[in-house]
A and B are shown apart, each in its own frame.
Chain A
Amino acid sequence: MKKRTIEEYLVIIILSIMAVLGFGNVLSRYIFHASFAATEEIEINMFVWITVLGIAIAFEKGSHLGMTMIYDKFPNWFKKVATVIAALLAISLFAIVDYYVIREIYKDLTLFHMRSEALNIPNWIYTIGIPIFSIFVFEKLISSTIRNIKSLDRGTK
């Protein structure tokens, strides 16, 4: 069996839970005519988590949408500059998102004690997934940028 990374195991587990919850919901609605729609809340918040994790894996594999037509025509040194700029911008983007999410969580814990609508779970349990899973985004951005710069270096020689 192929060796998998932590973030791959995480998306496998979380996406499976989402699917099972969703299917359980559909079954209960049609067969037992009872809805445990409250689980929708778990599903949609898990969707946020796998999105952050998926964004990380997509950075690693270079699968994000983009236009390379002009980039391909650049000289090698400029490609390196552009690669670093892209990585720094993405890191700042997620750092800013994380900063405001963490500030929100802090306010929640100390002041508002917001609870979720359906399940009455403290809200921060859901939102804390964003900064935690962003760690993978940062890690993948740094490692893939170093790898891309190295391969651009090899290209010139």
Chain B
Amino acid sequence: MAQIEVRDLRKTFQVSARAPGLWGALRGVVRREWREVHALAGVSFTLEAGELVGYIGPNGAGKSTTVKIMSGILVPDHGTCLVRGRVPWRDRTAHVAEIGVVFGQRTQLWWDLPVVESFELLRDIYRVPPPAYARARDELVALLGLEPLLDVPVRQLSLGQRMRCDLAAALLHAPPILFLDEPTIGLDAPSKLAVREFVRRLNRERGVTVILTTHDMDDIEALCTRVIVIAGGQLLSDGPLGHLRQRFGRERWLTVDLSDPGQADPEQVDPGQAFRAEEFGARLVRRDGGRVCLAFDPERVKPAELIARVTARHAVQDLFVEEPPIEEIVAKIYGEDGRIFPGGPGSPPP
């Protein structure tokens, strides 16, 4: 049986709308106006134990709504959700004892207490038997390098340190499922790598199911074998990362370093000599000095052909072909193309 089963989830929120200005404020005294936001419009998916899933979408797409329903703190209007055979919001205490949740922007640790005291308090809250707690704590401290931080009050920790401590805190009770909400937001590069490495090991070596919500595509690329894309309350894509590229990422990028940088600058050179991407059947992505980046559809113009066309007209020092970064692909999905985008209220494209 699947570990997490979500079927046709729907959720609508009522948001109060207040008219601006003084007159609006006075009117607000008498009567309140409401607006409906359809956060989820029929979301379904299934997760097996041990998967590491990326859950991405623009702001307001319904990501946090889905995660809240799966963790049991929000009740959907329609649809079913089963986590390890339980309905999360019905058996709340039994359910939350088996999940760990980390919010990137909020810590669950006690602000004024040393880290280890927060851990001990959580041990008591989750009723973890002392030997199991000691084992989990020591392992997590070792894996995340928390030894020097244990006696430091949480308010004195840097963001990266706090995130590592929050990760440990969420796992002290050895939950089989972990929800990570923007875990690398605001972290510096080394901390991001540390967090990713930890999550990867957690999933590969311990088999912990991880649901990762993030805007950082590097997280997705580094960790996720499966990506679910949601926008406007509906799923746009659900499958391996490779499929995402395949479906939306047919483009390739050709980057050339021109021998004469001036040729790339349309203002410097006369029209006869200027670099024109359209002539080659490509689209100009960016220009940086003598380095020009072109996007092209390899089904219409083969890479070799494009290279030939460019080098025929310009002297090229160096070049390489690559796949566009995942952000580009996702931006496309989110809604450069209006047709892909369902246009639900409350979910504007970034």
> Are both chains from one complex?
no
B-side residues, CB < 8 A to A, are none
A-side residues, CB < 8 A to B, are none
